[in-house]
Structure 1
């Protein structure tokens, strides 16, 4: 169920249309501005139109992976800062419920250097428990992180430490980001490495909690602890990594979301990446009977090059998701208030 994190510009209902336009059969979106603590309420028109378009394009509610605000830090030990994050968190969940979205993905948080990792994990779990009391059915999906600075969530044990403290475990899950996992020290480039990673995930967290994935190649090397997304097959992970992921039965039926650079040409770039990823789940052999990874990588590389040209030779690759770091705009108490925070997502 491959898709991408699409734009909601000019109305949240447009996310559905944007997803359909790139051939996605799942998608992610922000349910409000990811840069503001408070945003205008969703209008009844937008809610109704969102649901109508979901039905028109045959998207099941479970194929949408909403993404939380970058400002949220439920692991902050400062009560006032955490309360502000919690209010933003619950507002996101209620927006998901209004839209009929079942899965809400968010970054676990940061100790901001003022708490132990375990203390922050307990605070995050407490916020999830409280939020479950204020909402009905949205599943809080924890994202693994790359391991920069004081941010928690780079180790599967961190995610397990949160989940074990959550009272209603039917409403908590995990989203594995391939770039984050690689940067944090999970070598998923080979089938053996992927199997080893999934074995550890199942033993530590439980594969039943896997509710989605972010499919991103990496611009940086293994164990870099840096979150730099690259287009599929063009980074240090390589296309082979996505071959064994896409052909794994454990990744079937959950949203697999691209957060790669689109160069402001989502149909051309994400559309081609989705096409290639769908082919990876089946027969990708060339005439000699060997996997035709080179041919598939060439398709993506060609789409990227053409998009760059159309976009005036843009060098800094852009996606629909702005970077999470802006030094001039850091907010105290948020995950961004960390000198070495995650930069893409």
Structure 2
């Protein structure tokens, strides 16, 4: 079954995310639990939380995903920032456990000059301090490799998975992978990427796919998402990803632009059409 959704707003109450997702044709979706550019964490009140749980129980919409704050940097050498990042992620996990969110997705962060080895060590030690991962699962997202970010290849992701003492998963972002050097736009490149995933982290560890085309070319290390099929990965590349036997049953969450060309609904329809062609 095709599971496809987008990032939806929680404005006016977190429970309203279900209605917005339904209107767009989603059967899974992603939210921010609070402003992603602020450390201020306004936990939804009991009434809103109960409504959210009720909506969740009454709809065939899964998985439900929280995307962590953009400010979180678990790889940083700065103790104060890393402590704030751990606390922020812990709050996301605590809230997710409370209302039945399936996954909390995080970017591993940037080492900002301390080196990749130290950055990855910081990510691992940070995740090992987070509690409550038995119900809600933490997902580490691959990055484009821009700046000093870590987690841009599957070898680094594997090291994180192997050394974290809890069971965590992976979000595969197609735009990030492409601009990090994985040629998802070609048939042979996709097969080679899947082979590398199987040899390192394992396909079973990919619990979510952020399905995004790329405005920028292969190996550019730039993180600019494009509408499905209108970027450098292209229509055929997206079609192969959406229909690949080893990927097609993994939920797809789109983080594509909203502009004069398309909105979320049009991109979802594009995914559904490409699935039907496969």
TM-score (norm 1): 0.76
1:282–1:135 CA distance, 2 compared to 1 (3 A)? closer
1:286-340 alpha-carbon deviations (Å, 9 max, x no partner): xxxxxxxxxxxxxxxxxxxxxxxxxxxxxxxxxxxxxxxxxxxxxxxxxxxxxxx
Structure 1 alignment gaps of length 5 or more: 285-345
Say yes or no: does 1:28 pair with 2:54: no
Deviation (angstroms), 1:135: 4.9
Give the Cα–Cα distance (whole angstroms) in 1 for the partners of residues 42 and 120 of structure 2.
31
Contact 1:145–1:181 (CA<8 Å) still a contact in 2? yes
1:206-231 alpha-carbon deviations (Å, 9 max, x no partner): 11110101111111111111111111
Deviation (angstroms), 1:11: 1.4
In the alignment, which residue of structure 2 is the partner of 1:146?
A: 144
Contact 2:241–2:248 (CA<8 Å) still a contact in 1? no
Say yes or no: does 1:247 pair with 2:243: yes
Structure 2 alignment gaps of length 5 or more: none
Runs of 4+ aligned structure 1 residues displaced above 3 Å come to none
More relative contact order in 1 or in 2 (CA 8 Å, sep 6+)? 1
Say yes or no: does 1:269 pair with 2:268: no
Which 10-residue stretch deviates more, 255-264 or 2-11? Answer: 255-264
SS in 2 for 1:249: coil
1:253–1:55 CA distance, 2 compared to 1 (3 A)? farther
Contact 1:35–1:71 (CA<8 Å) still a contact in 2? yes
Contact 2:75–2:111 (CA<8 Å) still a contact in 1? yes
Give the Cα–Cα distance (whole angstroms) in 1 for the partners of residues 250 and 19 of structure 2.
20
In the alignment, which residue of structure 2 is the partner of 1:125?
A: 124
Contact 1:38–1:88 (CA<8 Å) still a contact in 2? no
Give the Cα–Cα distance (whole angstroms) in 1 for the partners of residues 138 and 110 of structure 2.
17
In the alignment, which residue of structure 2 is the partner of 1:319?
A: none
SS in 2 for 1:176: strand
Give the Cα–Cα distance (whole angstroms) in 1 for the partners of residues 115 and 209 of structure 2.
28
SS in 1 for 2:6: strand
Aligned pair partner of 1:200 in 173, 196, 202: 196
1:37–1:264 CA distance, 2 compared to 1 (3 A)? farther
In the alignment, which residue of structure 1 is the partner of 2:179?
A: 183
Which 10-residue stretch deviates more, 245-254 or 78-87? Answer: 245-254
In the alignment, which residue of structure 2 is the partner of 1:310?
A: none
Give the Cα–Cα distance (whole angstroms) in 1 for the partners of residues 118 and 227 of structure 2.
36
Deviation (angstroms), 1:281: 2.1
Give the Cα–Cα distance (whole angstroms) in 2 for the partners of residues 109 and 264 of structure 1.
32
Say yes or no: does 1:281 pair with 2:275: yes
Deviation (angstroms), 1:149: 0.7
Which 10-residue stretch deviates more, 147-156 or 50-59? Answer: 50-59
Deviation (angstroms), 1:116: 2.1
Give the Cα–Cα distance (whole angstroms) in 2 for the partners of residues 160 and 36 of structure 1.
30
In the alignment, which residue of structure 2 is the partner of 1:3?
A: 5
Task: Work out which of the two has the higher radius of gyration on C-alpha atoms and give 1 or 2.
Answer: 1
Question: C-alpha root-mean-square deviation of aligned residues, in Å?
Answer: 1.7
Deviation (angstroms), 1:264: 8.8
Contact 2:184–2:193 (CA<8 Å) still a contact in 1? yes
